[in-house]
């Protein structure tokens, strides 16, 4: 009752992170109402430059996680 213990809070947070991870692994998005949305952002292959040698290197296409804050969260921070 009242404030949960650190153990319960930690387990809850771990559960939420696991749910987000599962959604992203399926290329799906995960939305917290009033907080924001986590989704997978694909990126194209490109040519990069090794800063130590100046050599051009090919960077493969891939995916990365992306978070977009909700309007409510943005307004609260401002």
Tens-place pLDDT, residues 20-57: 999 999 999 999 999 999 999 999 999 999 999 999 99
The domain in which residue 49 lies consists of: 6-77
pLDDT tens digits along 61-78? 999 999 999 999 999 999
Beta strands in the chain (DSSP E): 30-32, 36-43, 46-49, 56-59, 62-69
Is pLDDT above 70 for 1? no
Domain CATH for 17: 4.10.520.10
Question: What pLDDT is stored for residue 65 in this prediction?
Answer: 96
Q: Does some domain include residue 38?
A: yes
**Does residue 10 sit within a domain?**
yes
Residue 31 falls inside a structural domain? yes
Distance between CA 8 and CA 44 in Å, rounded? 41
Q: Is residue 1 part of a domain?
A: no
Please state the domain count of the chain: 1
């Amino acid at each position: 009752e009242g404030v949960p213990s650190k153990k319960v809070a930690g387990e809850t947070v771990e559960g939420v992170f696991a749910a987000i991870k599962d959604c992203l692994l399926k290329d799906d998005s995960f939305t917290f109402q009033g907080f924001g949305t986590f989704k997978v952002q694909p990126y194209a292959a490109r040519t990069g430059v090794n800063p130590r040698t100046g050599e051009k290197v090919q960077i493969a296409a891939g995916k990365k996680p992306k978070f977009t804050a909700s309007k409510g969260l943005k307004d609260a921070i401002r």
